[in-house]
C-alpha cells in the first residue's frame, strides 16, 4: 500500500493519517478523472482535496488530499464507511497544474460541489479541463 505525498491546498495542510492511500481490493464509492481536453491527455499530477460540508454551520471539513496519477485518476478518495449522505466538494488545484507545464490559466482552482443522497451508489465526477474552460458531469 503506497501513500501519496502530502499536498498543501490553499489554507489547508492535511495530517499524514488523512493522506490518500491506494486501497487494494477496496474501491472508493467516489471517483474522479481529470482530462486535459486542450491536449487530449489525462490531467496527471494535479493536487486535489475532498471536503464535506457540515450541515449545522455550512463550513467545509477537509476529508483527504491527493494527486492524480498518470491516467488522471485519484484512487481511494474515500472509504465506503466514511461516505455518508451530504454535500461534498472536490477542489482541483488547476493553476499549479498549468504552471508545471509552463502555461498560464484563467482559473486558479476548480471546485465541484455535489450532493450525495444515496451513499450506496457509485459516483464518478470527471473534470474536463483546458486553460480557459472546464466542465463536469455525473459519470457512471
Phi, psi dihedral angles at 94 (to 5 degrees): -75, -35
Asked whether 100 and 94 are in contact (CB, 8 A), the reply is no
What pLDDT is stored for residue 25 in this prediction? Answer: 53
- If 0-12 CB within 10 Å is exposed, 13-18 middle and 19+ buried, where does residue 121 land? exposed
pLDDT tens per residue, range 74-103:
999 999 999 999 999 999 999 999 999 999
Number of domains in the chain: 1
Give the Cα separation of 12 and 65 in Å (integer). 10
Instruction: Return the CATH number at 50.
Output: 2.60.40.180
Give the Cα separation of 14 and 131 in Å (integer). 27
Global model pTM greater than 0.75: yes
Domain contains 106: yes
Domain that holds residue 92: 1-8+46-131
Candidates 31, 35, 34; CA nearest to 123 is 31
User: Residue-wise pLDDT tens for the chain (140 aa)?
Assistant: 223 333 334 444 444 444 444 444 578 999 999 999 999 999 999 999 999 999 999 999 999 999 999 999 999 999 999 999 999 999 999 999 999 999 999 999 999 999 999 999 999 999 999 999 999 999 98
Domain contains 51: yes
Instruction: State the residue for C-alpha cell 479541463.
Output: 129
Amino acid at each position: 500500500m503506497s501513500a501519496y505525498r502530502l499536498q498543501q491546498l490553499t489554507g489547508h495542510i492535511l495530517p499524514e493519517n488523512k493522506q490518500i492511500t491506494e486501497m487494494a481490493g477496496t474501491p472508493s464509492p467516489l471517483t474522479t478523472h481529470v482530462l486535459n481536453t486542450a491536449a487530449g491527455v489525462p490531467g496527471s499530477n494535479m493536487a486535489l482535496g475532498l471536503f464535506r460540508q457540515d450541515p449545522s454551520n455550512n463550513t467545509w471539513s477537509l476529508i483527504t488530499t491527493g494527486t492524480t496519477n498518470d491516467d488522471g485518476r485519484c484512487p481511494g478518495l474515500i472509504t465506503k464507511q466514511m461516505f455518508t449522505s451530504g454535500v461534498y466538494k472536490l477542489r482541483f488545484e488547476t493553476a499549479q497544474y498549468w504552471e508545471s507545464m509552463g502555461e498560464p490559466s484563467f482559473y486558479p482552482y476548480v471546485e465541484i460541489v455535489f450532493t450525495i443522497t444515496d451513499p450506496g451508489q457509485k459516483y464518478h465526477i470527471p473534470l474536463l479541463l483546458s486553460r480557459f474552460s472546464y466542465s463536469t458531469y455525473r459519470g457512471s
